[in-house]
Structure 1
Amino acid sequence: MMTTSLDMQTLTTCVQTAALAPSLHNSQPWRFQIDGGTVEVFADRGRQLEVLDPSGRELLISVGAAVFTLRLAIGMQARTPQVIIFPDPARPELVARIRTSQVTTPSVQVRDLAAVISSRHTNRRPFMNAVVPADVMEQLCAAAAHEGATLTQAGAVTRDAIVGLAQTAEARLRAHGGYRAELGQWTQPRPHRRDGIPPTAYGPWDALEHLPLRDFGLVHPYPQRTAARFEAHPTIAVLATEGDTPAAWVRAGQALQRVLLTATRHHLATTPISQPVEIPAVRDLLTDPATGRTAQMIIRLGYAAPAAATPRRPLTDILESGQP
């Protein structure tokens, strides 16, 4: 089998693509190093949200999403990425090491998913009252399974229960002394800011206060923001993993990005809803002890007008070459 590593310039382009992955509050908590034909992906603990994510679970989900996006980018360069998760126990911040030497032909699936990387944006707008087709849901569930996770669509009763849990979780978070301060940190307008949530991505108010989307205008109100009527019966799915370890969190992130890109390919809008899994007592209610499956993320799915993109950090902030 032919092997030849990708060059520095090509891998740099792959890293730029990987940085388009979703992350909590658009914190982009990752760093990359290129050494020969190998890319190492690190967790940037300086960007961890201490109030919402004291364990670093969502940080590693975000890094996992970047790892999956990097895999696609490398695959588009006719290479099979060889991934090792947590390759060095002495360096827990090193999340993944990816070698790029094995030559291959990009599959149709890799090409299809890679084609929509730049089109995937978290959508906080109202969705249409249209049902997500069953065959599309099957493909989303298969996408999660491909990465060792499960995606389960909530039935009517479970959906209403999850919405209620999300509302409870949002209320508890707002009661936390540091929540507003942390939210403000990631929504504070600054000239040339390349991270966080800009006002254009806040989304409108939910006029009926039914769907508990995170209110990014809570600290820095946006004058042009309007109220809107959101869908009464949202399509909601629960992404879960077997186990609840750092490796499972990285796996969840890869599964999440594969699901989001599969949804984007089918012209679906998506909103990861993390509040219910940010409160341990609420998250426990979404976990199935009989199967050992632990809820990692709630995803809202539907059809909507396109959402705005969020900014990305410059390459000089996230990429180093050679050994640290």
Structure 2
Amino acid sequence: MDSPELVRCIETATLAPSLHNSQPWRFRLTGEEIEVYADHDRQLDVLDPDGRELLVSVGAAVFTLRLALRRAGRIPQLAVLPDPGRPDLVAVIRPGSAAQPSAAVLELADAIERRHTNRQPFLPKVVPADAIEELRAAAGHEGAALTIAGAASRTVIAGLGREAERRLRARDGYRAEMGRWTRPVAHRRDGVPSAAYGPWDALERLPMRDFGLVHAPRQRRSEVFEKWPTIAVLTTGADGPADWIRAGQALQRVLLVATRRHLATTPISQPVEIPGIREVLTDRRAGRFAQMVIRLGYGPPAPATPRRPIAEVLSDRAASHRAGNGGTP
């Protein structure tokens, strides 16, 4: 593959989801090798002090890059955490042998540009069983598991999410960190814009993050959300950096399959941002470590969030190690 085509694939990878749309990744192109780095300057210290969600976000970009290469007619070769001496180097991907992409690959790749986090109320409509099975298979394909909550566990998860939100708001620096990533700035290319905040759940059944908390408290509106949401928990078999990257790849595959099935999705991370609450969702004996909660359903179109230009994320040097206070766009 020539460099312009590889750059286009990298640009597609930047459409992956990330915590607060922080886009904590950097890419380096050496010949045909694409190095993917974690950009710790974009880590959210209050919500993600150990960098777990940062690596989940980078993992989502890794999967998106793999899929972009596959759409371009190459079978990607992936090495995760290939160099212990460079812990910020998350993955190295090479375009392998040529292979015509299948119709299924093209359909999934076409969903990349259409996938957006949807924070609106969903319709009171059941997600079909065959769609659920396809989502489970998508997670399994990436070495993770997706469990759909039953009526009782759904109520428990929603309650845990609300408690997590309450505890997060009480943390020192929470509002300041939220403010940094929702601050309205002209021509901003990261963070959560006001169009993507979404309303507040009038009945407070769902733990929806209130992105209007800092900059638009008077403009916040409330709406009634679905009474019986479809909630899924994404888990991995272990809980180290490689598993967090795996979780990100599985998360993005699940979200893209859902998008292809015309489902709206909302990753809900509050329950896994409080260690004690995350532990409740984790079953260590069964090897199920909770990595993300996902809300699924049918909703109105969601707006796209901005992306940093390729010149900011692609360079001929490795991402620098973190120095000082990061997380500020």
Q: Does 1:54 align with 2:49?
A: yes
Q: Deviations over 1:272-305 (max 9, x none)?
A: 0000000000000000122111000000000000
Q: 1:294 aligns with which of 289, 296, 302?
A: 289
Match of 1:117, SS?
Answer: coil
Aligned to 1:35: 30
Q: Distance in 1 between matches of 2:63 and 2:79?
A: 12
Q: Does 1:104 align with 2:104?
A: no
Q: Deviations over 1:151-196 (max 9, x none)?
A: 0000000000000000000000001111111000100111111000
Aligned to 2:280: 285
Aligned to 2:322: none
Q: Does 1:123 align with 2:118?
A: yes
Amino acid in the other structure paired with 2:287:
G
Alpha-carbon offset, residue 103 of structure 1: 1.1
Unaligned runs of at least 5 residues, structure 1 = 1-5
Amino acid in the other structure paired with 1:275:
Q
Q: Distance in 1 between matches of 2:292 and 2:284?
A: 17
Match of 1:99, SS?
Answer: strand
Q: 2:64 aligns with which of 64, 69, 87?
A: 69
Q: Distance in 1 between matches of 2:237 and 2:150?
A: 22
Deviating more after overlay: 202-211 vs 9-18: 202-211
Alignment coverage as a number of residue pairs: 319
Q: Does 1:272 align with 2:248?
A: no
Aligned to 2:200: 205
Q: Distance in 2 between matches of 1:209 and 1:187?
A: 22
Aligned to 1:3: none
Match of 2:41, SS?
Answer: helix
Aligned to 1:80: 75
Q: 1:161 aligns with which of 152, 156, 161?
A: 156
Aligned to 1:187: 182
Match of 2:113, SS?
Answer: helix
Amino acid in the other structure paired with 2:31:
G
Alpha-carbon offset, residue 207 of structure 1: 1.3
Q: Distance in 2 between matches of 1:108 and 1:98?
A: 23
Unaligned runs of at least 5 residues, structure 2 = 320-329
Q: Distance in 1 between matches of 2:70 and 2:284?
A: 37
Q: Deviations over 1:65-84 (max 9, x none)?
A: 00000001000111000000
Match of 1:311, SS?
Answer: coil
Alpha-carbon offset, residue 225 of structure 1: 4.4
- After superposition, the CA RMSD in angstroms is 1.1
Is residue 35–residue 322 contact of structure 1 (8 Å, CA) maintained in 2?
no
**Runs of 4+ more than 4 Å apart:** 222-225
Q: Distance in 1 between matches of 2:29 and 2:281?
A: 39
Residue correspondence of structure 1 range 222-241 to structure 2 within 5 A: 225-241=220-236
Aligned to 2:325: none
Residue correspondence of structure 1 range 167-182 to structure 2 within 5 A: 167-182=162-177
Against the structure 1 CA distance between its residues 175 and 28, is the aligned structure 2 distance closer, same or farther, given a 3 Å change threshold? same
Aligned to 2:324: none
Q: 1:261 aligns with which of 241, 247, 256?
A: 256
Q: Deviations over 1:225-274 (max 9, x none)?
A: 43211001110000000000000000000000000000000000000000
Is residue 199–residue 222 contact of structure 1 (8 Å, CA) maintained in 2?
no
Identity %: 63
Alpha-carbon offset, residue 323 of structure 1: 6.8
Q: Deviations over 1:30-89 (max 9, x none)?
A: 000111111110000000000100110000000000000000100011100000001111
**Length-normalised TM-score, structure 1:** 0.97
Is residue 37–residue 318 contact of structure 2 (8 Å, CA) maintained in 1?
no
